[in-house]
Amino acid sequence: MKMPEWARVDERVAAAGFGQAVRALPTAVAVVLRLAWRTSPRLTLLAAVVHVVSGSVTAFGLLATANVFTALLEQGPTPERVLQSLPAIAVVTGSYAARALLDAAVAAVEGTLRPRVTAAADDEVTAAVVRVGLIAFEDADFRELSRQGARFGVRAIETSLRRMADLTSSLISLAAAMLTAALLNPWLAPVLLLAAAADGWAAARVAKLNYRHFLDTVGRNIRKSIVEEVATWRSMALERHALTLQEPLLGEYRRIARSLTREEVRLAHRSNLVRTTGRAAAGLGTAVAFLVLGWLLYTGGMELALAGTAVLAMRTASTALSNTMRAVNTLYEDSFYIGFYRQLLVESRKRQPPATAVKAPSDPAEIRLDGVSFTYPGQKRPALRDISVTIRRGEVVALVGENGSGKTTLGKLLTGLYPPDEGTVHWDDVDLAHADPASVHANIAVIAQEPAEWPMTAATNVTVGRLGRADPDRRAWREAVDSSGAAEVIDSLPDKENTVLSKKFDEGQDLSGGQWQRMGIARGIYRDASVLVADEPTAALDARAEARVFAGLQHASTSDRGRRTTVLVTHRLANIRSADRILVLEKGRLIEEGTHEELVRAGGVYHELYEIQARAYRHAEVPEPRASPAPETPTASP
């Protein structure tokens, strides 16, 4: 089973080089600090202060320990010397106690700040993605970026807060150890750095390997989760079983999983090799440091009494260095994912419609398309080409044409849901390209080909499109549920309109395809908008319901707010004979336009399509003893 090519990561991210990633480190830290500061300046400052104080106390403890060594070892440990060193020992003990208290303070401040920063990061990215224009969801790269950026980016921000705190403390400890070593002998400090350089190289190399691995496997990981979805999700269960696809899907899942495991093992071995090399070099560095120390003691460059302090400084420096390296390493790795997060914010904002004060008319007298062309992102062939048409208030206009001719797309363009690539869409004298999209969408109702199945109660499934407008006498509700046939659906539910329509809840209930469609129609009618687009609203309805819905939609061209403009997309031509106008599309072009009678007289594509359907019914007129009389014109459904 071959998986589709569309599961791929943003190419620009994949091309990011080492230098670019290193430069991203301060930016990543800035992102986290900005979020922390915005969340709570007071807590951020407090966190910085407690970390610095805590690190300083540790450093002070080290220097105090040095005093104890000096006091004890200066001329050999005698009972008097031990007594003399007691104050220094008390200071060391005090510094440890202070450190323990400060650790508690650090944990308290961090525990308060971190969840808030994570929530702020989550909120920022969710708000940015929620506000993008509808067309952004057609872009596979953007969809992938929003998945990765939201998931890994927010997690990286959370962990990097902790790493930054670790880095602060370990840098202070390192500085104290280096200072102590430098005070003992200026040669000691640089050799300590030798070991650090090797460690640092290994850490950075492993981070880079991990990132490369992430990028190399992201496509396969996406494929694996897609296969997992189709192999286990309820929505695919019926066809999966009916097509006996369980075993092939499992096989494909295992094939991808095996290849990912192989990569993981390869990564583990390579990282291990790099780390071992780093450690060997660091060990060599430490050996050199001890050699230098021995040489200093041998040549009298350092007093023996100070050797204990020197060893302590070396050990502290080495621990602090490895902590620093670990923190830098993780921060560096996190910076890649914080890069995703930043990129997602930038890309989302780019895709948000620009703020404008221009409002679309709430009840347009006409919707005018001039030379409109539209191509879906990533597609070569335009879905619509050079369409010019005007639809007037109160008209019922039907869109007709073969599959893929552009009917649904035209509905999306005339309601401002998608922007045209060429040409303009005007509502009265307002060009929708310059209008506030919310002001356009507030006045449209769309009955989608596959209506959304809102995981809410049956009542909310009808009213969700009109939450801000009251319906005090329930007139709109009655009209919506009666003319759509949703009333019968609701009546059949165990808790009537309070029944939850989702199997995600224990007490939830699912509906049949046709029942969901009735709910979708009711929702569209209840919204009572001035422009209504119904896209094959009755494809799943039984014949009686379909006839009633079409009659309802055509007569509902008068709404509470005035005369409504109705655009109907359908393949069942008998339903739209009485439409004011029929537009016929072919391969994205508008090829015919007129009333049913005009188009039949013209003898073009519409006439041909109509005849095909009508003929099917005429053939059904073969006299059979108990057959009911066949209709003269095509009716709702065979």
Ligand X SMILES: Nc1ncnc2c1ncn2[C@@H]1O[C@H](COP(=O)(O)OP(=O)(O)OP(=O)(O)O)[C@@H](O)[C@H]1O
Least Å from the CB of residue 573 to ligand X: 13
**Residue 603 makes contact with ligand X by CB under 6 A:** no
Least Å from the CB of residue 423 to ligand X: 16
Q: Which is nearer to ligand X, 288 or 539 (CB)?
A: 539
Task: Choose the binding region for ligand X from 161-169, 239-247, 399-407, 518-526 (rule: CB under 6 A).
Answer: 399-407
**Residue 409 makes contact with ligand X by CB under 6 A:** yes
Q: Which is nearer to ligand X, 406 or 437 (CB)?
A: 406
* List 235, 403, 473, 628, residue binding ligand X (CB under 6 A): 403
Task: Choose the binding region for ligand X from 149-157, 397-405, 433-441, 516-524 (rule: CB under 6 A).
Answer: 397-405
Least Å from the CB of residue 566 to ligand X: 17
Which residues, at least 6 apart from 413, have a Cβ–Cβ distance to it below 8 Å?
369, 372, 374, 384, 419, 420, 425
* List 84, 225, 272, 379, residue binding ligand X (CB under 6 A): 379
Taking Cα atoms as reference points, which of 529, 554, 563, 581 lies closest to residue 393? 563
Task: Choose the binding region for ligand X from 150-158, 299-307, 404-412, 576-584 (rule: CB under 6 A).
Answer: 404-412
Please give the C-alpha separations between residue 44 and each of 38, 51, 165, in angstroms, as whole numbers.
9, 11, 11
Q: Which is nearer to ligand X, 404 or 638 (CB)?
A: 404
The DSSP H or E segment spanning 531 is strand 531-535
Instruction: Report d(CA 584, CA 405) in Å as an integer.
Output: 9
Rg (CA), the chain: 36
Q: Which is nearer to ligand X, 376 or 454 (CB)?
A: 376
Confirm if 71 and 85 have CB atoms less than 8 A apart: yes
Instruction: Report d(CA 636, CA 301) in Å as an integer.
Output: 104
Q: How many CA atoms lie within 13 A of 276 on its CB side?
A: 6
* List 74, 122, 138, 453, residue binding ligand X (CB under 6 A): 138
**Residue 570 makes contact with ligand X by CB under 6 A:** no
Instruction: Report d(CA 374, CA 414) in Å as an integer.
Output: 12
Least Å from the CB of residue 142 to ligand X: 13
Q: How is residue 86 written in tokens?
A: 């007691």
Task: Choose the binding region for ligand X from 184-192, 333-341, 402-410, 594-602 (rule: CB under 6 A).
Answer: 402-410
Q: Which is nearer to ligand X, 122 or 138 (CB)?
A: 138
Q: Which is nearer to ligand X, 221 or 449 (CB)?
A: 449
Q: What residues are paired with 19 via a beta bridge?
A: none
Helix, strand and coil content of the chain, in percent to the nearest 5, comes to: 65, 10, 25
* List 345, 383, 519, 532, residue binding ligand X (CB under 6 A): 383
375: alpha, beta or left, given left = phi > 0 and alpha = psi -120 to 50?
beta
Task: Choose the binding region for ligand X from 87-95, 150-158, 296-304, 407-415 (rule: CB under 6 A).
Answer: 407-415
Q: How is residue 385 written in tokens?
A: 């080409």
Instruction: Report d(CA 86, CA 183) in Å as an integer.
Output: 24
Q: Which is nearer to ligand X, 401 or 451 (CB)?
A: 401
**Residue 517 makes contact with ligand X by CB under 6 A:** no
Confirm if 281 and 198 have CB atoms less than 8 A apart: yes
Q: Which is nearer to ligand X, 55 or 382 (CB)?
A: 382
Taking Cα atoms as reference points, which of 408, 411, 471, 397 lies closest to residue 444? 411
**Residue 401 makes contact with ligand X by CB under 6 A:** yes
Q: Residue count at the site for ligand X (CB under 6 A)?
A: 12
Q: In this structure, what are the phi and psi dihedrals at residue 352, rounded to the nearest 5 degrees?
A: -80, 140
**Residue 407 makes contact with ligand X by CB under 6 A:** yes
**Residue 405 makes contact with ligand X by CB under 6 A:** yes
Could you tell me how far CA 161 lies from the centroid of its own chain? 22
Which residues, at least 6 apart from 113, have a Cβ–Cβ distance to it below 8 Å?
36, 39, 40, 43, 44, 47, 161
Taking Cα atoms as reference points, which of 154, 146, 135, 122 lies closest to residue 348? 146
* List 112, 185, 221, 408, residue binding ligand X (CB under 6 A): 408
Q: Which is nearer to ligand X, 547 or 609 (CB)?
A: 609
Task: Choose the binding region for ligand X from 99-107, 216-224, 403-411, 550-558 (rule: CB under 6 A).
Answer: 403-411
Q: Which is nearer to ligand X, 103 or 593 (CB)?
A: 593
**Residue 77 makes contact with ligand X by CB under 6 A:** no
Q: Which is nearer to ligand X, 74 or 138 (CB)?
A: 138
Least Å from the CB of residue 114 to ligand X: 40
Instruction: Report d(CA 436, CA 354) in Å as an integer.
Output: 8
Q: Which is nearer to ligand X, 138 or 366 (CB)?
A: 138
Angle made by CA atoms 506, 509, 521, in degrees to the nearest 5:
145
**Residue 385 makes contact with ligand X by CB under 6 A:** no
* List 96, 187, 201, 376, residue binding ligand X (CB under 6 A): 376
The SS3 call for residue 243 is: coil
Taking Cα atoms as reference points, which of 404, 402, 371, 374 lies closest to residue 389? 371
Q: Which is nearer to ligand X, 96 or 376 (CB)?
A: 376
Least Å from the CB of residue 519 to ligand X: 20
Least Å from the CB of residue 637 to ligand X: 16
Residues near ligand X, by CB under 6 A:
138, 376, 379, 383, 401, 403-409
